[in-house]
């Protein structure tokens, strides 16, 4: 059974391991999103199929939701296996899937009706027409790039009727969020296999070695404005974080979000 979302804006935390899932839940996340090996950003921090089931169980015990970020883009020959993997995730109890390709979204909506789908930040939804287009493909939610300002959200939400997710905390954006191809350039011609992190390769975090802004993008001191704009989900980036660091980060944002909502005394 799919877990329903709370009415208030929720805090969606990342987890790259079972221990990180438990840490995020302990710190107060309303929902957790994971990657899955071979299906998510090169599998660098993806859970095995067996671990996905354990993560679902942990979330069920806590009364929380589990989302799966499936941002690999299959080739035509890989589509049957890809669809079978989606079915297994749904059957395992994953509450929502985050997808990164229009064709895959249409396929998943047709073949697995009723399973909530979120359009990944990699699809670069920037305006009401973008959001309406993905709604018509069948998504229930959309992750907006951090380039979108809070004053733009009401028109996007009104036009589409979609659940709106934004990154409350993420790496700084010097390219449009979700569009980085630096890993492909860095390993091209090295003989290291598929380069793209969206095609079975691995994100090498090349940006960490470039002279670009290093300070994290954070909304922690601006949450009231984003809540007023209609944000439904505040998402934290960081599936590569170890459990202790994850717990500290999620706990900090839990406190900030509760304070902004005026509900800290009730938790």
Between CA 44 and CA 46 the distance in angstroms is 6
- What percent of the chain lies above the pLDDT cut of 70? 79
Q: Do residues 100 and 71 make contact, with C-beta atoms less than 8 angstroms apart?
A: yes
Q: Do residues 108 and 82 make contact, with C-beta atoms less than 8 angstroms apart?
A: no
- The pLDDT value recorded for residue 216 is 83
- The pLDDT value recorded for residue 8 is 82
- The pLDDT value recorded for residue 49 is 84
Q: Flag whether pLDDT at 201 surpasses 90.
A: no
Q: Flag whether pLDDT at 3 surpasses 90.
A: no
- The pLDDT value recorded for residue 43 is 45
Q: Flag whether pLDDT at 205 surpasses 70.
A: no
Q: Do residues 89 and 35 make contact, with C-beta atoms less than 8 angstroms apart?
A: no
- The pLDDT value recorded for residue 180 is 58
For 174-212, b/e burial (b = at least 16 CB within 10 A) is eeebbebebbbeebeeeeeeebbbbebbbbbeebeeeee
Q: Flag whether pLDDT at 265 surpasses 50.
A: no
What pLDDT digit, counting tens, does each position of 65-100 carry?
999 999 888 999 999 999 999 999 999 999 999 999
Q: How confident is the model at residue 257 (pLDDT cuts 50, 70, 90)?
A: very high
Average pLDDT of 11-22? 96
Beta partners for 170? 217
Between CA 101 and CA 90 the distance in angstroms is 18
Q: Flag whether pLDDT at 228 surpasses 90.
A: yes
Average pLDDT of 139-168? 96
- 109, 44, 31, 51: which is closest to 71 by C-alpha? 44
- The pLDDT value recorded for residue 178 is 53
Residue with tokens 């939804």: 125
Q: Report the chain's mean pLDDT, rounded to a whole number.
A: 87
């Amino acid at each position: 059974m799919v877990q329903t979302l709370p009415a208030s804006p929720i805090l969606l935390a990342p987890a790259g391991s079972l221990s990180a899932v438990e840490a995020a839940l302990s710190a107060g996340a309303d929902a957790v999103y994971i990657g899955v090996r071979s299906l998510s950003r090169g599998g660098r921090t993806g859970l095995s199929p067996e671990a996905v089931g354990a993560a679902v169980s942990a979330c069920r015990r806590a009364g929380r939701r589990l989302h799966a970020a499936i941002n690999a883009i299959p080739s035509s020959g890989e589509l049957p296996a890809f669809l079978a993997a989606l079915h297994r995730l749904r059957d395992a109890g994953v509450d929502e899937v985050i997808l990164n390709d229009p064709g895959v979204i249409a396929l998943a909506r047709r073949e697995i009706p009723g399973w909530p789908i979120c359009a990944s930040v990699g699809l670069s939804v920037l305006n009401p027409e973008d959001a309406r287009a993905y709604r018509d493909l069948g998504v229930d939610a959309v992750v907006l790039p951090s380039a979108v300002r809070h004053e733009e959200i009401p028109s996007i939400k009104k036009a589409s009727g979609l659940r709106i997710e934004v990154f409350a905390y993420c790496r700084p954006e010097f390219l449009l969020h979700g569009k980085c191809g630096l890993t492909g350039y860095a390993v091209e011609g090295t003989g290291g296999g598929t380069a793209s992190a969206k095609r079975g390769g691995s994100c090498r975090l090349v940006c960490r070695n470039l002279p670009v802004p290093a300070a994290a993008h954070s909304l922690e001191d601006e949450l009231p404005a984003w809540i007023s704009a209609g944000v439904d989900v505040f998402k934290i980036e960081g599936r590569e974080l170890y459990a202790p660091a994850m717990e500290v980060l999620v706990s900090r944002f839990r406190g900030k979000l509760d304070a902004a909502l005026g509900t800290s005394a009730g938790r």
